[in-house]
Structure 1
């Protein structure tokens, strides 16, 4: 559980940090006011999102857990109570419990690996539930006495009410923050993807229908109506969308119970009813979250296996089989032929001499450095693969022969500028030779193009290396 962190926390400049601290206080204040407004007379709030929101923000951005951040959050808690009519002693007592729960939760989640902290492993939801339960218990031990002083409620009754309120809000709301995409990520890598492209709207529509049926039919069993639809969503959509949908359903359920819109077959909205519904909502949320978390772990595993099969482990270029399959499909596409496509063969000059003189470890460093330099020049949708040894192949889409020659010259220059460090402190310079062949009506397919490019490559070798040669049109 103490693995290396994968998801990067936000790194804030001083000015941005101050802005975030201020925003943290504003967010906590608003969340507290919303919770206070949901509080039945003489009871705890039906919905109390502030603690889960604060904990989620601190987990995603640990730099906010500074003395200024904690003080700002505490001030926002107290200010919200004072602004809504509470006296100072009552506000301090109640919010001491709120802060205690958040502190315990933050310390526990810091001990989790990044994968578990962001619910990307099969047991992550269980760990999240355990940490949330401990945080809720810690807050309840303090809060039970605060509620006794504020509302005159018996300590055991207050403890149970506080515990269930804290637990449901942590389990329902916290996963939204834990699984939210990182703002610095333009797209997630193959290994860390937590979202999937929705293949159908039917799971979502079934969720809407099941929630409507729960309101229309009512009764104690209405809680279970959305479960099948949520499980369908968990298997159809990504982890983050499922946490959002689950949170919406659970929050609306709590509101519906507190307002009487969801008829449970009991008279009035007693504290015992709210306690039962909080526990039911907590358990309802765990099912789709667990399924979505397990599915995310499965997707990540499949992604790693697919990457291991499709990519060369040393250079991280496409492996020969994967390159040939993708390149053949690309070359055969009619649109590609119209837009202009060029195939290149690249070979590291005198690579055998490098291996014989400096050893295979140095040769591996050369391969890695050259591959990295080549990928840096190419566009994201160009294909580059390692066909074997020191030989690479490239497919450039939407490129004329003239454009491809310019790309080839940039590739030559990028490799020329490399200085590869050796174990004895020496730096090794390398060059490559390139042969190109353009897709045309005369080509017979990828194999013919690679053969033509390979012949041009040998012409570049005969011409002195570190240069590019083009295959004769129609070859």
Structure 2
């Protein structure tokens, strides 16, 4: 317990020590995003791209612990500083960026009312919720911003409101999904492992190829419908790749489309680029982005549901070990893949006097013992080793690429860890637990997995007959001539 407390304290200290770095990074990110928006203004106050609000909101929603008063103040300073350095007056900079922060604040408050799955776009209606929140956030900022624009620049309030709202909408809908769908730190190791096996699985490149071709066709053909050319390819990507990858591709395509229209590279069939053209284009890009994002979100929800159902079928609910059927399937596949080129060992483990625990302390105490033993066993094994609960208090372990001595050492570590357990009961009492283990090696002449487990089971019963809390090794066809390890790890021939 002391180890866990020390770990928690170190984690808290680490987080508190790096928080200023996170806030500093957030400040620089917002500052750079503001400069990008300011330099993309082809018509007065109407920026072609204004990613700062969406980036700030995305960071706060993705990492709520970052949303502190210090972070909000630093972000506000970054907004104002970017405007001041590019020639704005102090009053205009404060008013305009106050409107930006109002929108971010409204969006953050609304997003935090959603469930985690909805915030991460892993529910069928999540994209619709994101769009609705973006509209509320953009509308709130637009009301305040249009008043500031009318006061400082003399623009009509209605015109300023529409321009501000469409800018907010397109940037929220395009940029926010990248942050919302980003894998959490706990998931990134799994994502990396999937990426390393991509060479074997061969990720399908054709949706991206078709996306590039459609974008080139849009530039070459032009016209009012050109911004819709990439939609079929984006839908293909949404059905092929993970949600985060689709969000990144969508953001790249939509941001480039905005810049291409504003710069005149993408010809929409009008004689001169008018502000109304940019507004219409932003609305079109916003609505077109919703389709592929919704498809990708629904597909992510489907994959999550399938993964949960698969886990429920393959894993024992109480101990989270592999269920018997799943263990047999995976162990057989592991043996076939190995083709018996390296030693394979089966360990059968049984909790000693488990019936007495149930009869004396109740089944709730027995369940707690099973859970504690399962966690303890997992902590002593390698990721390549298989652990399954075959039924009741009996567990099976399959060890690959181990020598007989190493297999015995693994079994000794498991027994020692279980022996050190003190399982706390509801009445405050602590229960000591022991277990017995039988070991068998898969030999070329063995009858496969079933025969291997049968031999390990015979060795297990021999260990119990010798007094429990020990290891017995099956050898030479009978467990009686194997090696037995007693309570203190001393092996002797019997």
* Distance apart, 1:447 and its partner CA: 0.6
Aligned to 1:145: 147
- Aligned residues of 1:331 and 1:439 also touching (Cα < 8 A): no
* Distance apart, 1:41 and its partner CA: 3.4
Give the Cα–Cα distance (whole angstroms) in 2 for the partners of residues 66 and 358 of structure 1: 48
- Structure 2 matches for 1:28-177, cutoff 5 A? 28-177=30-179
Give the Cα–Cα distance (whole angstroms) in 2 for the partners of residues 439 and 234 of structure 1: 46
Task: Give the TM-score taking structure 1 as reference length.
Answer: 0.94
- Aligned residues of 1:198 and 1:237 also touching (Cα < 8 A): no
Aligned to 1:365: 368
Give the Cα–Cα distance (whole angstroms) in 2 for the partners of residues 41 and 372 of structure 1: 63
How big is the alpha-carbon RMSD for the aligned residues of Structure 1 and Structure 2?
A: 1.7
* Distance apart, 1:185 and its partner CA: 4.3
Is structure 2 residue 371 aligned with structure 1 residue 381?
no
Determine helix, strand or coil for the equivalent of 1:380.
coil
* Distance apart, 1:64 and its partner CA: 2.7
Is structure 2 residue 263 aligned with structure 1 residue 253?
no
- Structure 2 matches for 1:274-313, cutoff 5 A? 274-313=278-317
1:399 corresponds to which of 402, 424, 427: 402
Give the Cα–Cα distance (whole angstroms) in 2 for the partners of residues 453 and 18 of structure 1: 56
Give the Cα–Cα distance (whole angstroms) in 2 for the partners of residues 66 and 404 of structure 1: 52
Structure 1 unpaired stretches of 5+: 1-9, 190-195
- Aligned residues of 2:218 and 2:227 also touching (Cα < 8 A): yes
- Aligned residues of 2:134 and 2:173 also touching (Cα < 8 A): yes
Determine helix, strand or coil for the equivalent of 2:189.
coil
Determine helix, strand or coil for the equivalent of 1:333.
helix
* Distance apart, 1:152 and its partner CA: 2.2
Q: Which has the higher contact order (CA 8 A, sep 6+)?
A: 1
- Aligned residues of 1:215 and 1:261 also touching (Cα < 8 A): yes
Give the Cα–Cα distance (whole angstroms) in 2 for the partners of residues 73 and 361 of structure 1: 52
- Aligned residues of 1:341 and 1:395 also touching (Cα < 8 A): yes
Give the Cα–Cα distance (whole angstroms) in 2 for the partners of residues 203 and 438 of structure 1: 48
Determine helix, strand or coil for the equivalent of 2:317.
coil
Give the Cα–Cα distance (whole angstroms) in 1 for the partners of residues 16 and 379 of structure 2: 33
Regions of 4+ moved over 6 Å: none
Give the Cα–Cα distance (whole angstroms) in 2 for the partners of residues 406 and 287 of structure 1: 56
Aligned to 2:6: none
Aligned to 1:192: none
Determine helix, strand or coil for the equivalent of 1:424.
coil
* Distance apart, 1:332 and its partner CA: 2.5
Determine helix, strand or coil for the equivalent of 2:185.
coil
Is structure 2 residue 223 aligned with structure 1 residue 219?
yes
Task: Give the TM-score taking structure 2 as reference length.
Answer: 0.90
- Aligned residues of 1:148 and 1:158 also touching (Cα < 8 A): yes
2:422 corresponds to which of 419, 433, 436: 419
Aligned to 1:207: 211
Aligned to 2:336: 332
Is structure 2 residue 471 aligned with structure 1 residue 468?
yes
Aligned to 2:488: none
Aligned length: 459
- Aligned residues of 1:443 and 1:474 also touching (Cα < 8 A): no
